[in-house]
Amino acid sequence: MVDSVTLEVVRNACAAVCEEMNADLIRTGYSPNIKERRDCSCALFDADGEMIAQAENMPVHLGAMPFSVAAAIDRFPPETLDPGDAVLLNDPYHGGAHLPDLTLVTPVFEGGEVVAFAANRAHHADVGGSRAGSVAADSTEIYQEGLRIPPVKLFEGGDPNEAVFDMVLSNVRTPDERRGDLRAQEAANRTGSRRFVELVEKYGAGTVSAALEEINDYSERRMRAEIDELPDGTYSFADVLDDDGVGNADLPVEAAVTIDGDEAVVDFEGTAPQTAGPVNAVIAVTCSATYYAVRCVTDPDIPPNHGCYRPIEVRAPEGTIVNPTPPAAVVGGNLETSQRVTDVVLGAFAEAVPERVTGAGQGTMNNVTFGGTDPRDGSPYAFYETQGGGFGGRAGADGMDGVHVHMSNTMNTPAEVLETAYPLRIDRYELREDSGGAGEFRGGLGLRRDVTVRDHVARFSLLSDRRRHRPYGVDGGRSGEPGDAVLTDGDGDEERLPGKTIRELDPGTTVSIRTPGAGGYGPPGERDPEAVRRDVRLGKVSAAAAREEYDIDVERDEGGEGDE
Q: What is the 3-state secondary structure (H, E, C) of 238-305?
A: EEEEEECCCCCEEEEEEEEEEEECCEEEEECCCCCECCCCCCCCCHHHHHHHHHHHHHHHCCCCCCCC
pLDDT of residue 556: 58
The end-to-end CA distance of the chain, in Å, is 67
Number of Cβ within 10 Å of residue 365's Cβ equals: 29
162 Cβ contact partners less than 8 Å away, ≥ 6 residues apart: none
**Residue type for position 456:** H
Backbone angles phi, psi at 217, to 5 degrees: -65, -35
Q: What is the pLDDT of residue 559?
A: 46
- Give mean pLDDT, residues 274-289: 96
Which of 365, 366, 429, 435 is CA-nearest to residue 400?
A: 435
pLDDT tens per residue across span 244-267: 999 999 999 999 999 999 999 999
Single-letter residue type at 345: V
Q: Which residues of 38-51 are buried (b: 16+ CB within 10 A; e: fewer)?
A: bbbbbbbbbbebbb
The per-residue pLDDT for range 326-370, each reduced to its tens digit, is 999 999 999 999 999 999 999 999 999 999 999 999 999 999 999
Kindly calculate the radius of gyration of the chain based on its CA atoms and give it in whole angstroms: 24
Amino acid letter, 268: F
Residue 334 is given by DSSP the state I
Across the range 388-397, mean pLDDT stands at: 97
Average pLDDT over residues 305-312: 95
Alpha helices of 410-461 — where are they, by DSSP H? 415-421
CA angle 193, 198, 200 (to 5 degrees): 95
- CA distance to 81, 276, 348, 459, per residue, from 75 (Å): 11, 30, 38, 37
> Per residue in 432-458, is it b (16+ CB within 10 Å) or e — as a string?
bbbbbbbbbbbbbbbbbbbbbbbebeb
CA dihedral 398, 400, 404, 405 (to 10 degrees): -10
pLDDT tens column, 124-176: 999 999 999 899 899 999 999 999 999 999 999 999 999 999 999 999 999 99
Say yes or no to pLDDT of 562 above 70. Answer: no
Residues in the chain, total: 564
Task: Report d(CA 417, CA 412) in Å as an integer.
Answer: 10
Give the DSSP per-residue string, 138-161.
T--SGGGSS----SEEEEETTEE-
Strand-pair partners of 265: 258, 313
Residue 239: what pLDDT? 98
CA atoms within 13 A on the CB side of 215: 28
**pLDDT of the residue at 61:** 65
Closest CA to 364 of 242, 507, 195, 528: 242
Which DSSP letter does residue 333 get? I
Q: What is the pLDDT of residues 481-538, one digit of tens each?
A: 999 999 999 999 999 999 999 999 999 999 999 999 999 999 999 999 999 999 999 9
SS3 543: helix
Name beta bridge partners: 461. 369, 502
Nearest to 458 by CA among 483, 425, 432, 497: 425
pLDDT of 557 > 80? The answer is no
Average pLDDT over residues 420-434: 97
Q: Is the peptide bond prior to 327 cis by the omega test (within 30 degrees of 0)?
A: yes
Q: Quick: pLDDT tens for 47-93.
A: 999 999 998 777 776 778 899 999 999 999 999 999 999 999 999 99
Q: Which of the four pLDDT bands, split at 50, 70 and 90, describes residue 463?
A: very high
Neighbours of 275 (CB within 10 A): 24
